[in-house]
Amino acid sequence: MSDPRGLYPHPPFQDQQQPWPGLAGRMTPRPDHGESSYRGSGLLAGRKALISGGDSGIGRAAAIAFAREGADVSIIYLPAEEPDAREVVALIRGAGRNAVAIPGDIRDEAFCKQAVDRAANSMGGLDILVNNAARQHSHDSILDISTEDFDWTLRTNLYGMFWITKAAIVHMPPGAAIINTSSVNAYNPSINLLDYAMTKAAIANFTKSLAKQMISRGIRVNAVAPGPFWTPLQVSGGQTMKNLEKFGGDTPMGRPGQPAEIAPVYVALAMSRASYVTGQVYGATGGEGPP
């Protein structure tokens, strides 16, 4: 056993800023996605997973965990994230699994459909979908959010999820699982993340409604609601430098989560033994807030 309070870095964190979308490899300290720590036990043997935003952060941690549990994994990511994506592909293949790298922008409907079809064709099927890609940008006031920024956030966080899910369902057999990444911001919105928070609330409701539809196909749909996690979202405009310095320090845990700490939740929701779990939102918040 390990005391969770002392496992990972605590604030204060040094000032750092990257252009959107940011790279995990350039963060200080570098996030832990489970590269050295995650050990699989065949919980997802033979499964076929597609993860949007799978190059870094929570998506990367899920990709590593899925591969080490025996799944083939396709990842969608922005072309600017290629250095991180190459590392993930190497880690998936290092686990002896098929890795498919799909660069592109999920704000484009045609790309979303092409990405899903490519993943399913390359892996010989698709039975796990993780909608994880997101845009988060800090604004102190609604008056500072341009229509362009608002559209960018909604098309990334909601439209992309909708298009990818719609394209994926036709490939997914009974027993498949869809997992969406919501946020604690769905329930306790941050003052500086107005547009991001509203999309995360929408994802929680999308999950619950879709779960009721998809059970007629034998497909389970759940979501994960992370609290503050140390990912490139935070250093590429997702937080002010003032907030970044103390990031995660106001949780009962006293620190932000590392992506490796939430990957087991995605594994648990994906595996077949969670057969009665659908329409749920699982929190991982360091001790505060619903769900």
Tokens of 116: 């899903």
Euclidean distance between CA atoms 221 and 225, whole angstroms:
14
Contact 65, 264 (CB under 8 A): yes
| Helix, strand, coil share (%) of the chain residues, nearest 5 | 45, 15, 45
Whether residue 282 lies in the annotated active site: no
Burial 249-274, CB ≥16 within 10 A → b, else e? bebebebbbbbbbbbbbbbbbbbeee
- Bridge partners, 220 (sequence order): 177
| Sign, Cα dihedral of 266, 40, 230, 86 | negative
Single out the catalytic residue among 8, 196, 266, 282: 196
Q: How distant, in Å, are the alpha carbons of 6, 273, 287 from that of 37?
A: 16, 24, 23
Enzyme catalytic residues: 196
